[in-house]
Structure 1
Amino acid sequence: MDEKPFEEPVLVRLEPLGPALPIHSTKKAVELLTDARWPSERGPRHRDAVDACLKVLDGHRSTLDARNALLEAAREAEILVAV
């Protein structure tokens, strides 16, 4: 499966003192969004991001859509480190 890379990574931190994780592609974004370490309270931006990423992997949306949706979900979950 094509990873559908982002032009720029999104940096997130799943644990307060943990390392910043660079998310470089739509495939990695889906893995992150469905990871058990994602904060347990998953809001509407999380659902939107999963949907956007899956549509990108199916060829129906752009990688920019997936990246932007991931940014919003990470902000909502308060795990965004840098854009």
Structure 2
Amino acid sequence: MNDKRFPTPVRVILKQSQENIIASAWDAVEFLRRWPGKRGIAYRRALQHCLDALDGIRSPKKAWASFIAAMKEEGLLA
């Protein structure tokens, strides 16, 4: 399993004004495992898609899109 780079890094701002730059599926998995929001469908989809990208089952671009959707749902995009 190697690190799968996202097409564009994602800048995430937490409520405590802490900024995170998520540049790969691995970064996303680490962020999602300490997820500050609700763990709904978009969260679960993003986590699974990022894990799938690391395993080579899904493209990093699709994992990135799922991660973006989860961030938008939670209002965490910068």
Q: So what's the TM-score if we normalise by structure 2? A: 0.90
Identity of aligned residues (%): 36
SS of the residue 2:9 aligns to: strand
Where does residue 10 of structure 1 map in the other structure?
Answer: 10
Equivalent-residue separation in structure 2 for 1:19 and 1:46 (angstroms): 20
2:31 aligns to what? 32
Tell me, yes or no, if structure 1 residue 80 matches structure 2 residue 43.
Answer: no
Long gaps (5+) in structure 2: none
Q: TM-score, normalised by structure 1?
A: 0.85
Q: Structure 1 residue 62 and structure 2 residue 59: aligned?
A: yes
Which has the larger helix fraction? 2
* Dislocated runs of 4+, deviation >4 Å: none
Please give the root-mean-square deviation of Cα atoms over the aligned residues, in Å: 1.3
Q: How many residues align?
A: 78
CA deviations over 1:21-76 (Å, ceiling 9, x no partner)? 1100000000011115x22x221100000010111111100000110000000011
